[in-house]
Structure 1
Amino acid sequence: MAKSLFSQRLKSFLKAFGLIVLFGIANQTFAVVSPHLKTEFPATYYLPTDTKFDPAVPTPEAFLGYGVGKWHIRHDQLVAYMYKLAETSDRVTIEVTGYSHQDKPLLLLTIADPDRKDSVESLRQAHIENIKKQRQPKSDAPLFMYMGYSIHGNEPSGSNAALLLGYYLAAGDDKRIDALLKNTVILLDPALNPDGLSRYSHWANMHKGYQLSRSRYHREHKENWPSARTNYYWFDLNRDWLLLSHPESDARIEQFHHWRPHVLTDFHEMGTDGTYFFQPGVPSRKNPLTSNDNVALTQTLAHYHADAFDKDNQLYFTEEGFDDFYYGKGSTYPDAHGSVGILFEQARVRGHVQESINGDLTFTRSILNHITTSFSTLDGSLENRRALLDYQVSFAEQTKQLVQKDEVAGVLLKQPKDIFRFDAMLDKLDAHQIQYSVVTKDVDVAGLRVEKNKGVFVSYDQAQYRLIKSIFSQRTSFPDNTFYDVSNWNMPLAFDIDYTSLKQSESKKLTLSKKREKLTKIESVRPDVGGVALAFDWYHYQAPALANRLLQKGFKLRIAGKPFTANINGDTRDFESGTVVLPKAFNGDLLEEAFAIAKEFSIPLWSIKSGLTPKGIDLGSRNMVPVRQPRILLIGGEGTSEYEVGEVWHYFDTRVGIPITLIDQEELASVNLSEFSHIVAASGRYREWDERANTSVGKWLENGGTLIGQKSAIRWFESQDWLDASILRTRDIDAQFEEEQLAYADADKLASKKRISGSAYKATVDLSHPLFFGLENNSLPLFKTSNMIVEHTGSPFDTLAVYDDNPLVGGYTSKELTEMISGSAAIIVQRKGRGRVISFVDNVNFRGYWYGTSKLMGNAIFMSNLMD
């Protein structure tokens, strides 16, 4: 029996390192006898043996000083080597497309034939024009290939493979290179998540010994909290292609639309005991808007991956485990645009070598596998070049046909009083190149009244039809109701924007303009400190940020617990509950500075002429409650959800500007809680709290603290008698599902019915309560990612948000769960001594995207003293 390619390479290079290698011929096994297990190899180990390389371009090992795989490459090393490739190879151009939160550069290498390097831009423009005009590409038109690696920082084999692929493309000389330079423009993105990659390379390298430990219990293989899968704020960037909550995603989407690649690769790692996965995913779990031609092309390329692994005697699988539904992932976002996105999942080492059910898995093997599928992607794309070129044109033609068949003409959206939130949503539409028009005349259509210049219409008749349909979808049932990720990401629901779909006949009633600047802007107010106080409205999304900045600058603020009317420049103006007042009596000459600060947040300050108001409370009322600088303790650490803790941190840090104190939950007992006004607990397991911590929190609550929790954290509150509520246990939920007629094979389907992966729900909220000050409507969309159900307390004074009778408005939830959620509590606020407990059943900061509810976290901080 012939030896596997891997065995041949390993034998050759282990000999080169002076090791004794004994190979079994018949059974394809080998044993290594050595003081140390070597896990580093020169670039030529990973790359084709018949390739010659330009000696002017340094090899990775020459540049790094060691063979690839010995250490996990740091991001700064990766960046330096990519620049060296651009410096020494006339095929490579490099640019910085943006920066991560930690100011690490996001790189994109453009690799093309030196003879047409200067014409790459004209080729790109012609490619974009072909798509727009549905024009057939010329016979010599190149494929644009986007090769992206390691969007999860602790899945580093991708970025280490990118190091090698960069070298091969920059310096290699073989038939494949000739064909690639002639027929493609390759875009190499070596590290999609620089901050996460940096954290993980440090972790893996700091725990590697000379004697490599294979044990899965070894600290090298078990990261501390938070994992480096995430970016700086502990978000999953592979869920952010659509949501665009982070600078890494903004830069990536801009480049995607700039190039509109024919193929985009997305290299990941999965569980250690897996083998290797490549798409297609589960056939029944494809997004219904994705073209069947896309699946066919993905299947065609899959044969090239399979052939490559078969030649190397490597195991793999496809069409199971992973789906192609959510358009916010790297492998599916391209599918909505006529590109072919491909997900690759390599069994993870999480270190340098680890035992698995398939034997010892080495980091070098993981790198080699990703190199293998990088080459098979390039080979398969080259051989199917014409089909890929034609597909983007046919995709555009098919999209046009779908538009014509659709009875809905588009979506009408109404601008709320909070213009910032509306603009934030439009910015995302702009980033996705979704076109919209401003409504320039008053209109009342399909149950929605929109005033002149206070709304937009998103027409379905445009190239982004499929993406538009998905972000405005309220679909609740699918052919396969099992989801790897969320089943709904409706944008207006996330931003709490009133909207309606219009039929063709209804859309003709609209008078439209393409100019976004026609939209109503925030009212400009001339600076005036001649009165007794300044005031600003709380309905602005950035009101918490302005309040916080003013407090940091030494201003004394009051919040109105009830509405009032005040004299403003010879006229009267109504102010709602939650209005922030800056009395001149406490702020004196500071008020001039207040206008400059408010201008930064685009929030107008109104000058009130008298403390005696024509209507409502006066400025000296006991309902004008003092606001103090918040001091927030955020609980994290092992057992808590790194995603949700990161979302809370991100909200306060980037949108409100409050410095928070983040501690591991095991340290809570040693903290002097009297230093903090608020404690926030995201979802997690809180069994690590000892009796001292529980006693300390209880006393702090009794003395006036505000405890805020969401999802499973409130189960802990209930167990400690800080929250008086009834939370359904798993057995209570299970009892609602019939099992008698099921077979063993139905187990997965039953589990999916008991799970809520991510769906939109409507709840009715009490606008008179301070937690909801600034909201316009008492119907609030919430995003549910768990099947937690909390029974209504029966009191209107603490159950302040209740799920509607028909609460599900987008995404899948089984009938049994939906019925149980109907009428249950969504938000509970209760007093505990002189303190209060605020309990969110759902995640109000979901992925930094759910703007419509994230302000509730700001209200929970600034309005807490009003919650009596």
Structure 2
Amino acid sequence: MFKNYTVIFLAFFTISLSAQDYFLKKYQPFNSAIPSPEAFLGYPIGSQHTRHDQIVAYLKELARISDMASIYEYGKTHEGRKLVILTISSSQNLQNLEQIKQQHLAFVDTNSGASNYDQVPIFINLGYNVHGNEPSSSEAAMLSAYTLLASNHPEIRKYRSDAVIFIDPTINPDGRDRHTQWANSYKGNPLVSDPQDAEHSEYWPQGRTNHYWFDLNRDWLLGINPESRGKLNWYHEWYPNVVTDFHEMGTNSTYFFEPMKPIGSKDPIMPKENYTDLNDIFGAYFSKALDSIGSLYFTKEAFDGTYPGYGSSYPDLQGGLALLFEQASSRGHVQKTPYGKITFPFTIRNQYTSSMTTVKAAVENKALLRKYQQDFFKSALSNASKKRIRAYTFEDKFDKNRLKAFIDKLLLHRIKVYKTNDENKYVVPTNQPQYRMVQTVFETYKEYRDSVFYDASAWSVANFYNVKYRAVSSNVPTTGEVTSTEDLVKVSPVSRSSYAYIIDYDDYNASAVLYYLQHKGVNVAAAYKPFSIQTSTISKKFNYGTLVVPVSKQKLSPEKVYQALTEAQKRYKVPMYSVASGFSLSGIDLGSRYVQFVQKPKAAMVIGNGVRSYEAGEVWHLLDTRVHMPITKIPMRNFSRSDLDRYNTLVLVSGNYNQLDSNQQKRIKDWIAKGNTLITIGSASRWAINTKIVNEKLTKAKKKDSLKAVSRKPYVDAPENLGKESVGGAIFKVDLDVTHPLGFGYHDTSIPVYKNNTIWLAPSKNEYATVAKYSADPHIDGFITDRNLNEFMKPSASLIVSPVGRGRAVLFADNPNFRGSWYGTNRLFLNALFFGNEIRVPR
């Protein structure tokens, strides 16, 4: 199959036919006044990879030329690239788009009785290229836009009349351009199909992810990055009926379209009609279209929509039909496979064919899709009325900025939130159209009908934020709806003091305040024991880790110190207090030996081949966007000649560090012993133990009886049986030592953590070194086998500090920064950065 189409494509360069005929012949004739992608770009689609700015320029040109198209910018990426959507419909529809939009939204409104299902144009969102190095779909986006605008074929004219089509050509422009630069830079002439050629193997971190190395296809639920937040705001303005999610997979595969593998949840919150009836209807269209061009494909046996944060699952929870496509990738321009050569144009044509088929299927089933979306939101209310739970209340008495971040996430998904008489407590009623999103945020699960998941098996967002929430079976009195987080956190301006200032370290933003002050040259100390003291306004009790700024211990003038404090408070909204005396009402005084100077962190992190880019990006993103603290990223290839003495903290996230030889291992250990801090996460913690950098152990499996006969199992079941032993992503409870510097800022000794690995740290033999241990009954949410739970997890530690000479290693078994969303455990990591060098592990 691949070989035949390759021959056809290469023939384009030797005959007079335009290369675009390979894609577009079916939809002739075309309006000559509208330029094809080839005419605009100056090269045939598929002959090279197209930069994002060229794609945007082409779509802008289409919108300029045609009265059947308009372009909208819904945001910008971290690197400043534009995120755009091209809207295509008939000129009459576009002129009346606002009216059509209101008619469409009537089907989302549970109070509306709209029944004109077949009379309103169907809303279709063709979304492309969320993974930057899966580039074929963005090229197909340009072909689709051209076809839908320029074709005079009767079928296409009907699509323009009966649909409003929103084309999002590149969901991840930063990643796409990273890959585009690579593929075009290493493109040979003639083309090189050898899989070992550099063109087919990008250097770390590759183009899959965005600027901070986040997988944007996991970010629909979490809404951390501007690409996702912009798209979510657009989405909830339009609520499209059908959404596409185009991807690429291994070169030696074929093509995938839905239906997927069955959802792993025992009781999915998505209506069954979505993943059975609708997918089967659309699947029949896709099979017919791909059969007609001779493309092989498969369905049902892979991928799943269990996690609600994919581009192919989130729209399903908004009454739409999300459709996943996976194309075998050429990983460049042409590559050898067992079937022959697979070319870039071939991959584009499959994506283009599925794009146009999606429009066809949606238009021909628009009444069904509209009725389904209407029933979806109405059934949300009826489902809620059948459940005992009437609302969820949540609160945090100590950390309003973390609470604000959680409420922001609820509002992003259009979940209704209300205030109560208690200023620290909020309520989310279940009787609301977004009830299924309420379930997604608060509900937890222990039973599943599957044991192998494509991604996470747990996503209860409230646990990500360590929010204390409670399900209630009665209505809760409210005092008003929360519609914005703009003024949710209010702090009293700190008054000037000639003695000292105290900063509440319970607040999530306190780490950012600490670094801001250090950067400004202010000396800051931390209280290693709690105390109560009279401030200028109230007498108040302060927790472990409270920051103290003594005015007399500064190199800066009192005026400069006060200015830095007021600037920090204005920026981060953290409670601050002035005091006139260091004499406490109870607990330690401000001059106590338990009030210690906090050293400014000088942090570095190893990146590059072997390092898990997701986790490295999460650290970088956290420090860049929330703490505004720089971290030096040292490529693995440069590590042997780097000067570690410039830093007092080194971060190693999960990865393979076996490429660091015994000399480099000794170098790291000697550097720690000088008084510095090594922070390891996941498999890096295992590496530190295995290489004897630290004197700790891993939890070992119980020895099996070698004489016991091994039961024979079917070969075909091996992937499922072995796959379930991994911990793909679940939430567990740990017991935290809140008196330890790594526990500063916490009040509750029980907190949730996220585990997506099988790293099991044995508790330290030093009784003061195990900072967090899995509780006796640790399971909160997600799938884990009984063996992993009882044999490995329950005896193990989640966080250890191990002494190395005058220094220490902080070993995380679990990722405290997972996907930029774990506000509840970020503090553990930040404490390791800021207080690590002050930790003295008693021996």
1:448-597 correspondence to structure 2 within 5 Å: 452-503=422-473, 507-508=474-475, 510-515=477-482, 522=489, 524-569=491-536, 571-585=538-552, 586=554, 587=556, 588-593=558-563, 594-597=565-568
Is 1:360 matched with 2:341?
yes
Which amino acid is the alignment partner of residue 567 of structure 1? Q
Secondary structure of 1:807's match? strand
Which amino acid is the alignment partner of residue 123 of structure 2? F
Q: Distance in 1 between matches of 2:204 and 2:444?
A: 36
CA contact (8 A) 2:536 2:577 kept: no
Is 1:742 matched with 2:713?
yes
Which amino acid is the alignment partner of residue 622 of structure 1? R
Is 1:402 matched with 2:380?
no
Q: Distance in 1 between matches of 2:121 and 2:750?
A: 51
Out of 204-213 and 623-632, give the one that drifted further: 623-632
Out of 79-88 and 858-867, give the one that drifted further: 858-867
Q: Distance in 2 between matches of 1:536 and 1:601?
A: 12
Is 1:288 matched with 2:268?
yes
Is 1:17 matched with 2:37?
no
CA contact (8 A) 2:648 2:837 kept: no
Q: Distance in 1 between matches of 2:356 and 2:123?
A: 15
Cα 1:56–1:733 change in 2 (3 A) is farther
CA contact (8 A) 2:511 2:627 kept: yes
1:37 is matched with none
Which amino acid is the alignment partner of residue 591 of structure 1? V
Cα 1:486–1:9 change in 2 (3 A) is closer
Q: Distance in 2 between matches of 1:832 and 1:183?
A: 69
Q: Distance in 2 between matches of 1:604 and 1:397?
A: 44
Cα 1:14–1:835 change in 2 (3 A) is closer
Cα 1:614–1:728 change in 2 (3 A) is closer
CA contact (8 A) 2:2 2:342 kept: no
CA contact (8 A) 2:411 2:484 kept: no
CA contact (8 A) 2:46 2:345 kept: yes
Is 1:194 matched with 2:198?
no
CA contact (8 A) 1:127 1:137 kept: no
Out of 384-393 and 797-806, give the one that drifted further: 384-393
> CA shift at 1:202, angstroms?
0.2
1:181 is matched with 160
Cα 1:82–1:661 change in 2 (3 A) is same
Which amino acid is the alignment partner of residue 751 of structure 1? L
> CA shift at 1:742, angstroms?
3.4
Out of 605-614 and 219-228, give the one that drifted further: 605-614
Q: Distance in 1 between matches of 2:561 and 2:649?
A: 28
Q: Distance in 1 between matches of 2:74 and 2:709?
A: 53
CA contact (8 A) 1:669 1:690 kept: no
Q: Deviations over 1:706-759 (max 9, x none)?
A: 000011001111123222222146897999x99626333332332133111100
Secondary structure of 1:204's match? helix
CA contact (8 A) 2:68 2:149 kept: yes
Root-mean-square deviation (CA, aligned residues, Å) is: 2.3
Q: Deviations over 1:156-195 (max 9, x none)?
A: 0011111111111221211122111111000000000010
CA contact (8 A) 1:694 1:720 kept: yes
Q: Distance in 2 between matches of 1:519 and 1:72?
A: 42
Cα 1:156–1:416 change in 2 (3 A) is farther
> CA shift at 1:336, angstroms?
1.1
Which amino acid is the alignment partner of residue 153 of structure 1? G
CA contact (8 A) 1:438 1:516 kept: no
> CA shift at 1:569, angstroms?
1.9
Q: Distance in 2 between matches of 1:763 and 1:733?
A: 28
Q: Distance in 2 between matches of 1:797 and 1:454?
A: 34
Q: Deviations over 1:528-558 (max 9, x none)?
A: 2233011201111111111111111111111
> CA shift at 1:106, angstroms?
0.3
Q: Distance in 1 between matches of 2:451 and 2:510?
A: 40
Match of 1:257 among 215, 236, 252: 236
Q: Deviations over 1:747-789 (max 9, x none)?
A: 2332133111100000001011010100120001000001221
CA contact (8 A) 2:529 2:587 kept: yes
Which amino acid is the alignment partner of residue 756 of structure 2? T
Q: Distance in 2 between matches of 1:783 and 1:351?
A: 36
TM-score, length-scaled by structure 2: 0.95
Q: Distance in 2 between matches of 1:850 and 1:738?
A: 44
Is 1:328 matched with 2:305?
no
Match of 2:633 among 662, 666, 670: 662
Is 1:312 matched with 2:293?
yes
1:228 is matched with 207
Cα 1:537–1:732 change in 2 (3 A) is farther
Q: Distance in 2 between matches of 1:344 and 1:730?
A: 40
Is 1:135 matched with 2:113?
yes
> CA shift at 1:828, angstroms?
0.3
1:152 is matched with 131
1:343 is matched with 324
> CA shift at 1:425, angstroms?
0.7
Is 1:720 matched with 2:716?
no
Which amino acid is the alignment partner of residue 578 of structure 1? G
2:757 is matched with 786
CA contact (8 A) 1:544 1:656 kept: yes
Q: Distance in 1 between matches of 2:655 and 2:705?
A: 21
Cα 1:156–1:14 change in 2 (3 A) is closer
CA contact (8 A) 1:669 1:692 kept: no
Gaps of 5+ in 1: 21-39, 441-451
CA contact (8 A) 1:9 1:45 kept: no
Q: Distance in 1 between matches of 2:807 and 2:685?
A: 16
Q: Deviations over 1:71-123 (max 9, x none)?
A: 10001111111111111111110011001110111001111111231211111
Which amino acid is the alignment partner of residue 638 of structure 2? E
2:745 is matched with 774
Is 1:827 matched with 2:823?
no
Match of 2:733 among 762, 776, 781: 762
Secondary structure of 1:342's match? strand
Secondary structure of 1:141's match? coil
Which amino acid is the alignment partner of residue 220 of structure 1? E
Q: How many residues were matched structurally?
A: 830
Secondary structure of 2:767's match? coil
Which amino acid is the alignment partner of residue 352 of structure 1? H
1:625 is matched with 596
Cα 1:787–1:5 change in 2 (3 A) is closer
CA contact (8 A) 2:6 2:343 kept: no
Is 1:76 matched with 2:72?
no
> CA shift at 1:622, angstroms?
2.7
Q: Distance in 2 between matches of 1:336 and 1:641?
A: 31
CA contact (8 A) 1:134 1:396 kept: no
CA contact (8 A) 2:258 2:299 kept: yes
Secondary structure of 2:127's match? strand
1:844 is matched with 816
Is 1:392 matched with 2:373?
yes
> CA shift at 1:61, angstroms?
1.4
> CA shift at 1:341, angstroms?
0.2
CA contact (8 A) 1:531 1:609 kept: yes
Cα 1:342–1:571 change in 2 (3 A) is closer
1:691 is matched with 662
Q: Distance in 1 between matches of 2:492 and 2:295?
A: 69
Secondary structure of 1:47's match? helix
1:412-451 correspondence to structure 2 within 5 Å: 412-440=393-421
Q: Distance in 2 between matches of 1:382 and 1:734?
A: 62
Q: Distance in 1 between matches of 2:448 and 2:675?
A: 48
Q: Distance in 1 between matches of 2:2 and 2:821?
A: 47
CA contact (8 A) 2:441 2:459 kept: yes
CA contact (8 A) 2:392 2:427 kept: yes
Q: Distance in 1 between matches of 2:119 and 2:353?
A: 27
1:653 is matched with 624
Q: Distance in 2 between matches of 1:234 and 1:207?
A: 22
